[in-house]
Amino acid sequence: MAGEILTDDLLAAYADGELGPEDTAFVEAELKRNPDARARLQAFVHVSDLVRAVHRDAAPVPEQRPGTDHPGASRSRGCGLTARVVAVLRAVMGRE
């Protein structure tokens, strides 16, 4: 991972447990040496926890999207949640 930068996308994927072993090792090494990275990760985890709590308390999501006839159209929850939260926060903050 020489020359790699610890991006918000990597931190979000790490928070969601979506990284492979090499990327995980890179992120964990950066977290050990960089207090700012640890703070950013904590912010992502906190926002993800808040979003999960909202989803948990919300009405159930139907198994199928309206207007579809096949089960493969079902919605998945939690998949890449932190990445979606990061994308929304970037859009709101004007950081595309």
Q: How does pLDDT run across 69-81, given as a tens digit for each residue?
A: 554 444 444 556 6
Could you read off the pLDDT of 13-69 as tens digits, one per residue?
A: 998 889 999 999 999 999 999 999 999 999 888 888 887 887 777 666 556 555 555
pTM across the whole model:
0.58
3-state secondary structure of 48: helix
Give the CA dihedral 65, 68, 74, 79, nearest 10 degrees: -70
pLDDT for residue 84 is more than 90: no
Q: What residues have CB less than 8 Å from 11, skipping those under 6 apart?
A: 27, 37, 40, 41, 44
Could you read off the pLDDT of 48-61 as tens digits, one per residue?
A: 888 788 777 766 65
Angle 21-33/35-57 helices, nearest 10 degrees?
120
Question: Is the four-CA dihedral 84, 85, 89, 95 of positive or negative sign?
Answer: negative
- Between CA 29 and CA 35 the distance in angstroms is 11
Per-residue model confidence (pLDDT) at position 6: 93
- Between CA 91 and CA 83 the distance in angstroms is 12
